Chain A
Amino acid sequence: AQSVTQLGSHVSVSEGALVLLRCNYSSSVPPYLFWYVQYPNQGLQLLLKYTTGATLVKGINGFEAEFKKSETSFHLTKPSAHMSDAAEYFCAVSDQLRTGNQFYFGTGTSLTVIP
């Protein structure tokens, strides 16, 4: 079975500082990995995804993540935090089921950006 662990339920950074949100996964098969962002009272928006190929994945809003198989990690980074980045971030791993795929989500990391 697949699972995701997000280290740090709350992360605070200063505006302009590096953002690093940690995600480790467990998967018995090659994983598909995703980062989603959730703003208050809204659904989930896809930031980026890793399926196959290049291990450094670039997403929207300046975010990127690197798939490291040896470390079973998929950490999310952004060089310079912006106030609008304050939100809840979820890492997810996909379990391919025949014609469908079930997502397993982490418990989320709440990002606060300090002006």
Chain B
Amino acid sequence: DAGVTQSPTHLIKTRGQQVTLRCSPISGHKSVSWYQQVLGQGPQFIFQYYEKEERGRGNFPDRFSARQFPNYSSELNVNALLLGDSALYLCASRMTGLNEQFFGPGTRLTVL
């Protein structure tokens, strides 16, 4: 079975631009979470979606938004990019009733 997939793999943007990152969960998983991992640090929780509804939000500004589609895939949008948004963005999916999250390979975002 395919694992969590994310696209694109790498992305380079300039300050002020907008970016959209995409995630497809493992088949059968209805919950998707997004994490930001800055170089040298652990992942930080951004959003969690379940059944297309936002179920949790971390301490990130309103420039960050997300949504989940009927097929449970998800997009993370970041507006007005700042240099500090440069990071690895990880998507994780989870099966209902289980605790563990399965992570995708991430999207490496570089903001110049």
Contact = CB atoms under 8 A, between A and B. Distances in A.
Nearest to A100: B55
Given A46-B102, A108-B42, A97 B90 contact: no
A interface, size bucket: 20 to 34
A103 B99 CA distance: 10
Given A107-B41, A107-B42, A99 B31 contact: yes
B25 interface: no
A4 B41 CA distance: 12
Nearest to B99: A32
A103 B101 contact: yes
Contacts of A34: 100
A100 B90 contact: no
Nearest to A36: B103
Interface of B: 4, 31, 33, 35, 40-45, 48, 50-51, 55-56, 58, 90, 92, 94, 96, 99-106, 108
Given A46-B101, A105-B43, A107-B42, 16 more contacts: A4-B42, A34-B100, A43-B90, A43-B105, A46-B100, A90-B42, A90-B43, A94-B99, A97-B55, A97-B56, A99-B96, A100-B31, A100-B55, A101-B48, A101-B94, A105-B42
